[in-house]
Amino acid sequence: MKFVCQLLLILLISQFSSCQKNETPSTSKSNVTPTSPKPEPKTLTQKIKSPANTNSQAPKLTKTPDGNILMSWLEKIGEKEQALYFSTLENNLWSSPQLIAKSDNWFINWADIPSISKLSDGSLAAHWLAKSGESTYAYDINIVQSFDNGKTWSKPILPHTDGTKTEHGFVSIFPWNKDKFGAIWLDGRKIKVNASGDYNEEDLSNEMTLRFTAMDKSGKLSEETALDERVCDCCPTSVAITSKGAIAVYRDRSKEEFRDISFVRYQEGKWSQPKTLYPDKWQIDGCPVNGPVVVAKDELVAVAWFSLAGDRARVQLIFSNNSGETFNEPITIAEGDAIGRVDLTMLDDSSVLITWLAGTKDTGSLNILRAWSDGKKTKPIALLETSISRKSGIPKIVSLNNQAIIAWIDVNQSRVLTSSLNINNLQ
């Protein structure tokens, strides 16, 4: 969506975005001395040969109901065309890439990436973003389904029915029930655009909204709901399923431009009203492009996010033991040169692995630690060196049995790479 690069710390030059057209660097000094341990470099991962070629990006890892791991990614073909592929991890080997779709009319963004999801009956759903008009920021969500393990795909369905040539993106697709997929997304239908597709960035009535719909196997939509009428413009969303229903997390936006994390829950047949997860009080005029991630197991819920409230960089983690009805106090995971772009996965013992990026314009690292709901956590480890530029995207992690699978972008190769990590090495 419409980005401004902001340099938010003197020693930390992060790639944030305020969803505006013109790039205007700004600086902000951190007056807080880091208190979290500096991640120790350790070689704990083993490379898994990636199914992605060079000129690939936007990896997304998904754990399926039948205990497999899927990865989707984008790959450039020729000068203009992009292709969306997926692969299945089998015995620590990726299957041959399967094509979902390709086009020269997609909206490609480093943070707003395609995805794939799977129902318990084997049905697949995938999504991408397609241009809907001449304006750079006029694009629609396209969702397709497959009922033969990805050999063929249905015609694209738009989950939104507003018909406006505005922004629709940052989608989270998830199993809604045994016959339907659910989707939440950021929706720009309230934004007033002129004939050229532009809008007044100073008009506070131009608000991005958060919406939900369900889709059955025929592509029929139902239950479309406005979940929040004013949210942060361009931060990724996340959904998890608890034993009591779905919980969705996202970066909110108050009238005073506080952009803290909020959540909604689906219980007893309806969505709750939005509720602030924790009052960071991060007041910022533009979107930081740094969304939260939620995972769940039965009634245990964990949410990770980044904040720069008070010019203090923090990666935070919070737990709930009752499906999100109440939350404990947050655990500080990292400070100092952390820039966020978090990911999270729940392990069999109900602990979590959390990853985040940290560094400066010159050097960065992908870091990890293991944490428990009682506040216990391992020492942070720097898994690998990486750029913190937008080209590095958002590294992903998912767990299966005693290992975690990690996907990231090697900016030197312009390629999605993958590796495995023995969870027992993080005790």
What is the rounded distance in angstroms from the CA atom of residue 172 to the CA atom of residue 274? 17
Q: pLDDT by residue (tens digit) across 397-414?
A: 999 999 999 999 999 999
pLDDT mean over 162-177? 96
Mean pLDDT, the chain, whole residue set: 90
Asked whether 354 and 342 are in contact (CB, 8 A), the reply is yes
Q: Which residues pair with 356 in a beta bridge?
A: 367
pLDDT mean over 171-175? 97
Nearest to 60 by CA among 328, 418, 421: 418
* DSSP string across 158-179: -S-----SS-EEEEEEEE-SSS
Among residues of the chain, what percentage have pLDDT more than 90?
82
Q: What is the largest CA-CA distance in the chain?
A: 58
Provide the token pair at 133: 């008009």
Tell me the residue range of the domain where 211 lies: 61-339
**Predicted confidence band of residue 197 (pLDDT cuts 50, 70, 90):** low
**Predicted confidence band of residue 136 (pLDDT cuts 50, 70, 90):** confident
In a domain, 354, yes or no: no
| Model confidence, pTM | 0.92
The one-letter amino acid code at 387 reads S
Give me the pLDDT at residue 43, please: 74
Using the predicted structure, report yes or no on whether residue 198 has a pLDDT greater than 80: no
What is the rounded distance in angstroms from the CA atom of residue 378 to the CA atom of residue 73? 31
Using the predicted structure, report yes or no on whether residue 371 has a pLDDT greater than 70: yes
pLDDT mean over 224-232? 97
Using the predicted structure, report yes or no on whether residue 3 has a pLDDT greater than 80: no
DSSP symbol at 368:
E
In a domain, 309, yes or no: yes
Using the predicted structure, report yes or no on whether residue 382 has a pLDDT greater than 80: yes
**Can you list the pairs that 203-207 forms with residues at least 24 positions away whose Cβ atoms lie under 8 Å?**
204/255, 207/231, 207/253
pLDDT mean over 101-120? 97
Give me the pLDDT at residue 27, please: 28
Least confident of 37-41, 174-178, 349-353: 37-41
CATH of the domain at 262: 2.120.10.10
Using the predicted structure, report yes or no on whether residue 58 has a pLDDT greater than 90: yes
Number of domains in the chain: 1
In a domain, 23, yes or no: no
Give me the pLDDT at residue 193, please: 75
The one-letter amino acid code at 183 reads A
Q: What are phi and psi of 185, to 5 degrees?
A: -160, 165
In a domain, 307, yes or no: yes
What is the rounded distance in angstroms from the CA atom of residue 254 to the CA atom of residue 279? 12
Give me the pLDDT at residue 333, please: 98
In a domain, 197, yes or no: yes
What is the rounded distance in angstroms from the CA atom of residue 282 to the CA atom of residue 308? 6
Give me the pLDDT at residue 199, please: 66
In a domain, 394, yes or no: no
Rounded (10°) CA dihedral 41, 46, 51, 53: 40
In a domain, 304, yes or no: yes
Q: pLDDT by residue (tens digit) across 17-31?
A: 444 433 323 223 333
In a domain, 170, yes or no: yes
pLDDT mean over 191-204? 67
Give me the pLDDT at residue 41, please: 67
Give me the pLDDT at residue 172, please: 98
Give me the pLDDT at residue 24, please: 29
DSSP symbol at 391:
G
Rounded to the nearest 5 degrees, what angle is found at the Cα of 125, between the Cα atoms of 73 and 128?
45
Using the predicted structure, report yes or no on whether residue 175 has a pLDDT greater than 90: yes
Give me the pLDDT at residue 233, please: 94
Query: What's the Cα-to-Cα distance from 138 to each of 131, 201, 279, 283, 286, rounded to whole Å?
Result: 6, 15, 33, 28, 20
